[in-house]
A and B are shown apart, each in its own frame.
Chain A
């Protein structure tokens, strides 16, 4: 049996055109709020076109016509079966609260990130204490290669502002680099978490090695005054990137869960987004502090003041992550 195609097209074209007009408008105006009668009409047109597609599949052989109706049905399907809320105006209050809520929903992933970083720190610490020559391998950065005593002496006797005329660009470079590291730590979760583990551990190794170098030489106060003002925000931001990486890895692996991988990934997507954006905002702040505060030492900025500032930031961050968004 073959469909009487011209009669069929003549009868149905008016509905196809109407549906196409509605779909084009939805594409051009993503925030168009349809009235109830308009929604009902869209639903009717979708069902009618779906029925046409079935008839064409069963009784007709014209591929171009089938592709046309199929594309209409596909587009209408996305609109009709979209049950999720549309993005309207951004509500900043809810947006800001989403970050700590997402953080609190996955304590295990954050603990794992902290644990791996601490393990890396311990490794870096003991490696440097056991073999100071390992410094060149563990922290291959020219700024960290010299002797702590020499650096502290230079920094404390500095008469001029060595960052004069470079502070803002230095700050921008720090921000972009740290955001890249954090995004990579999160994205590496797609390797079932292996990449995230390596990055967090290596980050910890560098931190532990630097701490061992300065504390071992008796400059613990200088180290705290140098690292705490920006590190109090920067290090937790990287840990949050690690947390997001492990959330992603957990959704991929889905050990013991009966839901599909697609459902698991869908369920954590919002949390990943909230944590990633929160970490980026933290790193913008950390970049500013690192360029404008951390690089100035005693007598310009007393260590006690810098350490107090760092502790204050850490306390504020802890309160924000643990309290904001609780109902």
Chain B
């Protein structure tokens, strides 16, 4: 036997470096555990059903005029509901293990915080994307069958309606879902109790959905933001970035006037930034090597 471990209040993850294969196995095991947890928990099924009913029901309640009109119909709904769904899926992830005490057990295994958090995120992301994308894909597939020819005037003057626009919308919705899920992971890792998790998640959803845009509005009203600065600022807000990218790439240019949209480059950077930020906070908050 050799002197393999000595601790004296040292910081940092205490496990030795493992080879890439082992880390990948652990990552996938954690991700699979999250997927299985989602599949076997009825409340997530109920959330999925509710989301599908709203997303499918709203357009079908009116006339479906084509792919681009469908994007315009759904964008606001998605902009609000996806963060709600992401926080519902993500908040009770790391927090579930913290709350039950199982995180302490997991910590005695050779797995780093980053691997644990990333695996948890991947698993939850698979579940979230399945729930978000399934009704959207269904709707997109149904457009040729339910389209009302008489109401296709919306796109006829600007561009040819195309499923490509809807596919872009679905892709952007995925990116938006992944971004807000990363923020939910941060909340999940920072909260120590179920009550704190619910409170933090509620606050975070309000900030994500309304708070950033409200800040931009204040900046606009006070003359701090305007022109290109406004477009950049909108890109730094998750819903602003999503909205800006949808308008820029998924509407075929039918919206040529109206409120200012986010700068597309700033929007991409903004979404990436929030993913990195959320996962970094989640990793640092999951546990402290010095004890929590």
A binds B: no
